[in-house]
């Protein structure tokens, strides 16, 4: 793979009991950080992987019925963690972000989208069409807050399954070469959300597989356990989720040198996030 540079950090978090995220987990309250990635490509410039939370989550959930979403997820969003503020603190202007890959359109992955009006957005056509067709007032039941999405989402989003070169993949069947230069591959990870995507990339230091919410905690791969069945209620397809989970396990056993990075796994991400934007660590 062509090498890129990677930086990871958090933009807000919510809290939940560990036993929700993993069957047989404890009652301990754990933080689910909203991880985001900043990728520096040698010719394409800056690319964001997901956009975390912003305090627009609070205004978007101020009134019923979407207030229910706020009450159900105890969210903390330090202003300085919002991506646009982290970038500004390091002299990166919002219009320098040319590309944003959205793994899926849940509110903890799309919070910052509106801050980058000049970026091209990339998603799967399944995720985009599903999101566009959701009703504004009930979309929160699917984890989507329409107030967080730009009005020109449809015009600005390129569907990777329509524009990207497809390559054969022995685990996932197909992978999408985002820029056609073998630097960033996107793969389908459906189940948690419709049309969810993961990203594979390689830096000078190692290979990474950002798997979004396809798994929540890395133990679920290591110990081969699924989340608490109650979360089925919030998942798009439990059948697809289990199939995706199985594929990630196979990928992990074939490519143990690749670091699998679940968005919300604190144990994995705490060693990866850096307080200042730097491309020399990962
Ligand atoms: Zn999430």
pLDDT digits (tens, 9 = 90+) for 165-216: 999 999 999 999 999 999 999 999 999 999 999 999 999 999 999 999 999 8
Helix (H, G, I), strand (E, B) or coil at 171: coil
**% of the chain at pLDDT higher than 90:** 80
Please say if the pLDDT value at position 233 is more than 80: no
* Topology (CATH) of 5-269: Metallo-beta-lactamase; Chain A (3.60.15)
Question: What is the separation, in whole angstroms, between the first and last Cα of the chain?
Answer: 16
Report the candidate in 92, 101, 108, 107 with the shortest Cα–Cα distance to residue 123.
101
Distance 41 CA to ligand 1 centre (A): 25
Which residues are within 5 Å of ligand 1 (an ion), measured at CB?
A: 108, 213
**In whole angstroms, what is the distance from residue 211 CA to residue 208 CA?**
9
Specify the higher pLDDT residue, 209 or 18: 209
Per-residue pLDDT at 23: 75
Alpha helix positions (H), 11-144: 18-21, 56-60, 67-72, 83-89, 107-110, 125-133
CA 270 to ligand 1 centroid distance, Å: 16
Stretch (H or E) spanning 202: strand 197-202
**The predicted structure's pLDDT at residue 26:** 83
Closest C-alpha among 195, 158, 201, 228 to residue 37: 201
* CA of residue 217 to ligand 1 center, whole Å: 12
Q: From the CA of 143, how far away is ligand 1's center (Å)?
A: 9
Query: Distance from the CA of 79 to the center of ligand 1, in angstroms?
Result: 19
* Residue 17's pLDDT band (cuts 50, 70, 90): confident
- Mean pLDDT, range 148-166, rounded to an integer: 98
């Amino acid at each position: 793979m062509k090498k890129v540079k990677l930086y990871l950090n958090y933009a807000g978090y919510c809290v939940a009991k560990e036993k929700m995220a993993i069957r047989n987990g404890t009652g301990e309250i754990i933080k689910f950080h909203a991880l985001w990635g900043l990728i520096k490509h040698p010719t394409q410039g800056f690319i964001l992987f997901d956009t975390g939370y912003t305090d627009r989550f609070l205004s978007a959930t101020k009134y019923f019925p979407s207030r229910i979403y706020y009450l159900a997820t105890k969210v903390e969003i330090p202003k300085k963690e919002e991506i646009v503020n982290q970038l500004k603190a390091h002299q990166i202007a919002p219009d320098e972000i040319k590309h944003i890959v959205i793994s899926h359109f849940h509110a903890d992955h799309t919070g910052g989208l509106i801050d980058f009006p000049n970026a091209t957005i990339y998603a799967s056509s399944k995720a985009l069409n599903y999101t566009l067709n959701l009703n504004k007032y009930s979309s929160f039941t699917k984890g989507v807050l329409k107030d967080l999405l730009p009005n020109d989402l449809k015009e600005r989003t390129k569907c990777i399954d329509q524009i990207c070169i497809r390559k054969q993949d022995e685990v996932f069947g197909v992978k999408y070469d985002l820029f056609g230069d073998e630097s960033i591959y996107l793969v389908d990870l459906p189940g948690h959300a419709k049309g969810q995507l993961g990203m594979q990339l390689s830096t000078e230091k190692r290979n990474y597989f950002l798997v979004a919410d396809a798994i929540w905690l890395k133990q679920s791969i290591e110990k081969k356990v699924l989340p608490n069945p109650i979360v089925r209620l919030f998942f798009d397809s439990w059948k697809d989720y289990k199939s995706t989970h199985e594929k990630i396990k196979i990928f992990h056993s074939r490519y143990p040198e690749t670091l699998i990075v679940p968005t919300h796994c604190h144990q994995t991400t705490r060693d990866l996030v850096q307080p200042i934007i730097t491309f020399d660590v990962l």
